[in-house]
Amino acid sequence: MWSIGELKAKGKEAFKSNYWSSVIVALILSLLTGGAGASARSQTSQTGGQEGLDMSALTPEGMAVIVGALSVVFIVALLLRIFLFNPLEVGGFRFFKKNVEGEHPTVGMIKEGFGEYGRTFITMFLRDLFLSLWTCLFIIPGIVKGYSYRMVPYIIKDNPELSATEVITKSREMMNGHKWRAFLLDLSFIGWILLTLCTCGLLGIFWTNPYIQNTNAALYLELSKNQ
């Protein structure tokens, strides 16, 4: 059974051995996973603020314009995630897996996520769809399924012979009996995350995020040994 301390030690060692590349790839991944959603939320909050200023002056035509603008922002963000961000996520996870293995990959490895584009597109789309459906039902099952599907981006490149549904199934099998410990692994970074908030995100860019990403790749490699 793997230990949290050993995984974090492997992750930290891999991070330090390829520091700047890890920082850049982790930054790209953090922008991909948070950027589109943050942009949509920003547009919503700005619109909401304008509405609060003078709701009485808002005509049906004005409301239609606001709803239309928000819909366009949402659709664009969704399309970017499906067609661009998801393949880059796969490439980024590939980078960290290779980094933990000691290969010292370059930032350019993230482009590998666009290899076998159709298969990557379908697999990641199904992962996001299943997660969305579970989360819509209940929040807690959605979180649990998030841990079940955690290994999907790694498996896509490591097992090209598997179909989209087989990749998702393999991820579930790999995480069986490990979801709670994976949660504790995430929780062990709470101190670094709080310090990141205190530094307005700077510590996250230059330490916390790449440290976490390398550690997660170490978890994948550890679970792969049992497959």
| Domains of the chain: total | 1
pLDDT category of residue 50 using cuts at 50, 70 and 90: very low
The answer to whether the pTM exceeds 0.75 is yes
Q: Residue 145 is part of which domain span?
A: 4-224
Tokens 């996870």 sit on residue: 93
pLDDT, position 173: 96
Cα dihedral across residues 13, 19, 83, 36: positive or negative: positive
pLDDT, position 37: 39
Q: If you average pLDDT over residues 73-86, what whole number do you get?
A: 88
pLDDT, position 110: 95
Listed residue (14, 13, 5, 9) closest to 184, CA to CA: 5
pLDDT category of residue 226 using cuts at 50, 70 and 90: confident
15-39: per-residue pLDDT in tens? Answer: 999 999 999 999 999 988 764 333 3
pLDDT, position 158: 95
106-130: per-residue pLDDT in tens? Answer: 999 999 999 899 999 999 999 999 9
pLDDT, position 58: 65
pLDDT, position 57: 59
- Name the residue type at position 180: W
- Judged against a pLDDT cut of 80, whether residue 46 lies above it is answered with no
- Judged against a pLDDT cut of 90, whether residue 67 lies above it is answered with no
Q: If you average pLDDT over residues 162-168, what whole number do you get?
A: 96
